[in-house]
Structure 1
Amino acid sequence: MKSIALFLICFYSSITCFAQKPQADPQYKLISGGDYVASKNYYLLTLFGHIPELKKLLSADQVLSKIGNDKQVELAEAVKNCGEDIGCYIRAAEFSDDDIKQVGTRLGELYRADNELGKLVSMHLVPSGCYSLYADMDNRQLLIKAWEQDAKAVNHTNGVYNGGQKPNYPAIDSINFNIRDKSYPELIALNAALSLSEAKKDNLFFSPGLLFALHGLEMNERNQVADAEPMTETVNKAALEYAKKLKWSRYKYTLILVPGEGPEEKDVALSAGGMLRCRLAALQYNNGAAPFIMVSGGCVHPFKTKFNEALEMKKFLMEVLHIPEYAILAEPHARHTTTNLRNCARLVFRYGFPMDKPCITSTAKSQSYYITDVVPARSKKELGYSPYLNGKRLSDTEAEFYPLPVSLQIDFDEPMDP
């Protein structure tokens, strides 16, 4: 049975177990530079800025420097001339199609297997898994696709959180400001001026647009992607210490996943549905099904809530149901059912847990069937892949799933949960 599951995981994931090309590595340590908002959304750009020899190579290149200087000029002109035209600032800060093409072409020209860009791909982009949808490409093309993805991600953030464009889920993810308010253009002009000043210090071709995007997230209080990071040292520290001495063979399942259900009332910390889902998972845990319960969900419902679904469920499991902290893993970032499963798969991989052993979901009947019957296709549409394979249905409220490593792929248009 175990060999069949492994075969299925290999067959359906974006990688092939028998391929010679290196793949994502659970031992790889992500580089954040202390800025988890930037690194989790724009990993290539983070690496560009935090690997000294690579930064030196890019800063010294005349073609890339000209592109960066031209962008600084555009932003400076915007500060002087855009006035109350919000779109004018956005166009100045974003990467145009021509910018994206020029940078991609130049990165391809600079790439050598034995230079800093070659090392970047082989030592970081491939083992990180952050661009796993491009894993079958040659390394030069993977580098270009990673750049294109990060550029699109910066543009999306700027469009939504500076320009007021509609996000994928307007009810929970929209901008915090009325862009028609007379004071808003001045706020955006200040962001542009600040981004320009900081970019001149960075001396990197992408800095103006990236900084403008990061400031946009910050002023909208949309930095939740950094909540509880680094999780290995905060909310999941006790569980990971326990995992070091765990005998996985004693358990049929790796973990029990509890997807969050955010309350709609502003002052309610944990919904009734969240409480009952925790109780279902506690029954499975106490029966010895798995060594861990993973609670998943971010600050989602209602709009701009301060309550985090995963952390409130963890508190309920510990204080009310007396589940020990070492048995609880928190995933405090997911904003949708698709990313409950995706983020779970990511942590299973990153934490070095068995990938050929199934996990189970424990939730209400309607969501349980939604996960098995609808979410795989929805994930392929929204994420470009399914983050898991269905296993057996155990009951109306529990079903098996096998996490897939393709889940490490960054989602460019969800900056609070990429």
Structure 2
Amino acid sequence: MLSALGRLPGLDTRARAARIAACGDGPACVVEATMWSDQDRAAVAAAVARLGKAGVRQNADLSVAAGVDQELEALNVVLRVYGLGLPGRYPKIDGPVFAADTPFFADSVKVAIDTARAASQARPDTIAASVRLAVALLDANDATAATRFDPLDQRENARAQAVAARTNWSAYRYSLLIVPGVGPEDSATVLSPRSKLHALLAAQRYRQGLAPFILVSGSAVHPRGTRFVEAVEIRRALIERYGIPADHVILEPYARHTTTNLRNATRRMVALGIPLDRPTLIVTDAEQSKYIESATFTDRNRAELGYLPGAVGRRLSVYDLEFRPSRLSLRQDPRDPLDP
């Protein structure tokens, strides 16, 4: 959305320009001055109101104004976490490579600023320059999980999409099986014992004909810095160990939280043409299944996503829980840059 507002007409950024220029070459000062203050955001809101919706893509059910302000807040999140070293929403799994009190961190921020300015001719006070700096900071810290598999559905899920287009959904009890990943706690382990259990359970239910597809969900999350993507490794186990056809396994390699396992699964369903008016089945270990059914999980969804990604339904077993996805899951959350 902000990319359409790179040089927003009528936006007075002279005060921003002055405070950024006053920083000279001080990396921390430049980052802090680049952040969007309440006054800056109010000015953007006024300019967007004058512009209207022309050229601005709406974020699902959010108004244009709310969506733009959320993205400005997201820029501030990236600048705070990766530019100033402050803790983010999920400090145990996300954050800069170097500790904020080390010279390596300061140097990485300086290089990111130089990279952003070399890559763009936009004035430092503009939205475009802020976006470029945020991207450079994420890239400097290899925090690019949100784009690692793009274009996902034209590559990894293309064959599944072709099968979905000719699937008789009424022949199945569920439209798909949703299988969340659970990462190991050491960097040498490819697939955790819990994820191995999830793969076994999903393969059994697929063989029973409960659903035409298995959707595996999970990014490279645990331990922090791991290179193993949960969804990729579960998919590999389903295909190689259990003989599940590759074109019946849907990859969702972006989710970093149980909340977004369900949210992102819904997004893949919409993208691949899988109907939302039929129930899905969440297949996972007993502990995670119980958690998904709990009031704690409901509250977490409301607090972190701002909505419920769907409705949890009947329990079939300690491992199986029905789930009806909601289109609210199409709402992007740029405040979580690795899993928006």
Paired letter, 1:316 = A
Paired letter, 1:403 = P
The partner residue of 1:89 within 19, 22, 30 is 30
The partner residue of 2:3 within 46, 51, 63 is 46
- TM-score, length-scaled by structure 2: 0.94
The partner residue of 1:382 within 300, 304, 307 is 304
Conserved 8 A contact 1:257-1:294: yes
CA distance 1:335–1:412, change in 2 (3 Å): same
Aligned positions of 1:7-406 closer than 5 A: 44-48=1-5, 58=8, 61=9, 63-64=10-11, 66-67=12-13, 71-80=16-25, 82=26, 86=28, 88-111=29-52, 117-118=53-54, 120=55, 124-125=57-58, 130-132=59-61, 134=62, 142-201=63-122, 205-373=126-294, 374-406=296-328
Conserved 8 A contact 2:201-2:283: yes
Measure the CA separation in 1 of the matches of 2:21 and 2:318: 59
Q: What secondary structure does 1:395 align onto?
A: coil
Q: List gaps (5 residues or longer) in structure 1.
A: 1-43, 50-54, 112-116, 135-141
- How much has 1:201 moved relative to structure 2? 4.4
Measure the CA separation in 1 of the matches of 2:111 and 2:16: 17
Measure the CA separation in 2 of the matches of 1:174 and 1:185: 14
Q: Deviations over 1:269-303 (max 9, x none)?
A: 11111111111011110010000000100000111
Alpha-carbon RMSD? 1.9
Q: What secondary structure does 2:251 align onto?
A: strand
Q: Deviations over 1:152-175 (max 9, x none)?
A: 001001111111111212111122
Paired letter, 1:45 = L
Q: Answer with 313-322 or 204-213: which moved more.
A: 204-213
Q: Deviations over 1:323-356 (max 9, x none)?
A: 0001100100111111111111111122221111
Measure the CA separation in 2 of the matches of 1:344 and 1:109: 37
Higher relative contact order (CA 8 A, sep 6+): 1
Conserved 8 A contact 2:124-2:130: no
Paired letter, 1:215 = A
CA distance 1:186–1:276, change in 2 (3 Å): closer
- How much has 1:199 moved relative to structure 2? 4.0
Q: Percent identity?
A: 32
CA distance 1:324–1:284, change in 2 (3 Å): same
Paired letter, 1:392 = R
Q: Deviations over 1:290-319 (max 9, x none)?
A: 000001000001110000000000001001
Q: List gaps (5 residues or longer) in structure 2.
A: none
Structure with greater helix percent: 1
Q: Deviations over 1:390-411 (max 9, x none)?
A: 1211111101000000011122
